[in-house]
Each structure stands twice: as structure tokens, then as C-alpha cells.
Amino acid sequence: MARRILLTGLDTFWGGKVAKALERDPEIEMLLGMGTKTPTEPLERTEFVRADQSYSLLSRIVRATEVDTIVHTFLVVDSSSMSGRALHEVNVIGTMNLLAAAGASGSSVRHVVVKSSSLVYGSNPEDPTWFAEDTPRSRPPRARLERSLTEVESYVRDFADENPEVAVTLLRFANVLGPDIDTPISRNLSRGVMPMIAGFDPLIQFVDEDDVIRVLETAVRTRLDGVFNVAGRGRLPVSEVASIASAWRLPLSPVLTHQLAAPLVRLRLLDLPTELERLLRYGRGIDTARLEATGFEFECTSAGAVERFAAASRLRRTVGDALPTYRYEADVEAFFRHSPAVVRSAEAAEAADPSQPAETSGTPAS
């Protein structure tokens, strides 16, 4: 069955990468990406629409394109990347609008994939060594980011309850590392520093960025249904992360950690959002048995993901960013996608065939 997919956050790291991965799947007839900025990833056939998270536009897009799958990759999981208010707007209001559009009467949506984070479990001394998908948090969330993600998940759960005919995949990812991803931990490691809270050396988990994309791709393809933890195998102490990435261990005071680290953060010598500080104190483990029972196999272990990141940053130190940066030009992209002058390769034409005449003639696909 041909699939029609709507993707959020096409301009973000995950949106772009996932779109690129999904483009390869001939089963997918139409791929539409939303974003507030232009895409940063060179894409073959993904349509781009510049839109914010307002509800009216979303429901019009869903109705007009008759998408059957929504992939929501645009959840912010790094509180240092934007202000608290913007974060709430993007995560909570954006998801609420998206789900409202998906659940509107007569909606064609049958599958929703949400990329959430293991941050919803928090990081507290009372935690179990492993969180299963249905283990509750030990303490109510206090950090703004964790609160917003918890709220997002409650909307997703409500949506799943109200729309039993829609398969809802909620994926909770552990900390991601990889050659390209930019996270507080990767920024610290790139500076050659791993912040640690003096006297604490908890166990943490990582998942490789390519594994993240493969999980999202698999979730779309196989219509996974339910909540899944996603993390590479194994857990490793923070000190070991530092030694794999050959970073200097920067001990921070166990009391007044934030206040004392504030000057370093202000001077951009260190990244220490609240959620990272909690993680460096108590660590976190999530049990991925449920995902692995579906037959998914990770390519990288937790330590492997750190290793891969370390290798890439060693290369970068010598060569710099080797790839030329891509700039999205709307006219050029429209030309390549829709102009009859462009000769499309046989298989691409075959894959795109049903929608091709309709798109070029401007009438909605039947």
C-alpha cells in the first residue's frame, strides 16, 4: 500500500535525516515536510512547506494532502537550545495542534510516530536501575523541559485512547551521540571536556544517531504500536565516556553545582542544562527489551555510539567539516521536483508514477 507521510521539523536535524531515509522507500508515495526554516539536508523528492505549529494550517494540510502517517520528530529535548517559553510553544502547543489536526473528524491519519525522550523518566536517586516503558517516574518533573515532555506524552496518550483506529508509536530515546548530532554532551566532548559532578560517576546510556533514524524508519514501515524505549545496549559510567572520547574530566561541585558552574556556562566553555546535571548525578537506565522483542537490532552499543562519535571528532579535528554545506533554494527545488524538463530515472519515475501526473497538473491526487 502506498503511504503518504507528513513529517514535522524538516528543517531540524532529525526531520531532515528521517526524510532522507524515508525517501529511499518506494512504498512511500508522498513525503511532505514541515518546518519554520528551510531544510538543511539535500532531499530528492520530499515536498517542503514552511509552516509554524498553528492548528488551522495543520488541519488544512492534513486534509488537503490526505496523509496517512504523521512523523513528529520536532520535539525539543535540549533546554539550552531555546528559551523556556519557546520550548513550551514548540513541544506542548505544537504537539497539541498536530494531534488535534490528526484526530479531526474524517481525518485520513492512521499512524502517528512521536520521537520523545527518556527524559520523561527523569533522573532521581529513587529510580530503579532500569525503567521499563510502564515504570512511573520517581518524582514529579521539575525542570521545564521534562515537564513539557511529560505534558506532550500525556497528549499523545489521550490521542491514542480517543482514536483506537490510529496506531500510535511513542519512542523514548536515550541520549543520542554520533558524528553529526549536536547535543550538550557532544558539545562538551568536542571541547575536550566531560563535566562530572565530583564524587558521582553514574551509569548512562547512549544511542547512535543512525540507530535513531533506523528506529524511526522501522516504526513508520512496520506501523509499530505502543511505547518503546530506545537505547544502545549496555550502560557505562560517565568517566568511561570521558576516557573513550579522550576528554578531560571536569569535576563540578556536588553542592551549588549550577551556581558555581554558571561562569563557565556563560563563557561558553561548558554546557550544563538542568537535565544534564541531573543525569550526571544519578544516571539513568532504560530497558529496551520491548523494542528488541519486535526484532529490531541496534548497530551500536552505548559505548559504541561514544566510540563512533570520538572517531568522527578526531577526524574533524584534522580535516574540518569536509562536506560542503547545503543551501535550500525554493525555485531550484521546485524545478527538480516538478518540471517536465527534468528526466527522472526509471525507478524513481515508477515509484512516483501514481502521483506524478496529478502533481504536475495541479489537481489533488486521487
Partner 1 sequence: MPARQPRHPNERPGAPAGDPDAGSFRAPVVPFPSAAPAERGAEDDSRRSDVDEWGRSERVRRLARAAGRFYYERWFRVEWEHLERIPRQGGALLVANHAGAIPPDAPMIMHGIEDQLGRPVYGLADFWFRTVPVVGTIWSRAGGVPAHPDNAHRILHEQGQLALVFPEGIKGPQKHVSERYRLRRFGRGGFVETAMRAGVPVVPIASLGAEEAMPILYKVPAVNRLLKVPYLPVTANHLVFGPLLGTVAYLPAKFRFRVLEPVHFDVEPHQAHYPRGRIMDAAEEIRMRLQEELFEMLSERRSVWFG
Quote the least distance from Cβ 204 to partner 1, whole Å.
11
- Is 127 among the residues that bind partner 1 (CB under 8 A)? yes
Residue 132 in contact with partner 1, rule: CB under 8 A: yes
DSSP one-letter string for 210-224: HHHHHHHHHHHHHT-
Q: Which residue type does 2 have?
A: A
Q: How many binding residues for partner 1 (CB under 8 A)?
A: 36
Region near partner 1 per CB under 8 A, out of 70-78, 121-129, 141-149, 262-270: 121-129
Closest CA to 6 of 87, 67, 86, 93: 67
Give, as ranges, the residues between 265 and 284 that touch partner 1 (CB under 8 A): 282
Is residue 5 near partner 1 by the rule CB under 8 A?
Answer: no
Q: Which helix (H) or strand (E) holds 70?
A: strand 69-72
When asked if residue 122 is in the footprint of partner 1 (CB under 8 A), the reply is no
Angle between helices 144-162 and 274-282 (to 10 degrees): 90
- Does 304 contact partner 1 by CB under 8 A? yes
Q: What DSSP element (H or E) covers 4?
A: strand 3-8
Where in 134-193 is the site for partner 1 (CB under 8 A)? 135
Report whether 101 contacts 59 (CB < 8 A): yes
Residue closer to partner 1 by CB (options 186, 356) is 186
Taking the CA atoms of 242, 243, 247 and 248 in sequence, report the sign of the dihedral they define. positive
Nearer to partner 1, 53 or 288 (CB): 288
What is the smallest separation between the CB atom of 158 and partner 1, expressed in angstroms?
24
Nearest distance from C-beta of residue 355 to partner 1, angstroms: 43
Q: 230-259: which residues touch partner 1 (CB under 8 A)?
A: 233-237, 239-240, 243-244, 254
Site mask for partner 1 (CB under 8 A), range 313-342, x = bound = ------------------------------
Give 12's Cβ-side CA count (13 Å radius): 20
Q: Which is nearer to partner 1, 98 or 242 (CB)?
A: 242
Q: Which is nearer to partner 1, 50 or 233 (CB)?
A: 233
Instruction: List CB contacts of 14: < 8 A, sequence separation 6 or more.
Output: 73, 74, 115, 212, 213, 216
Whole-angstrom CA distances from 324 to 42, 43, 178, 179, 186 are 11, 15, 19, 16, 21
CB 189 within 8 A of CB 313: yes
Binding to partner 1 by residue 103, rule CB under 8 A? no
The Cα–Cα gap between 233 and 287 comes to 9
* 198 part of the interface to partner 1, by CB under 8 A: yes
The C-alpha cell that represents 129 in the structure block:
536501575
d(CA 265, CA 257) in angstroms, rounded, equals: 12
Residue 16 binds partner 1 (CB under 8 A):
no
Interface with partner 1 (CB under 8 A) = 125-130, 132, 135, 197-203, 233-237, 239-240, 243-244, 254, 282, 285, 287-289, 301-304, 306-307
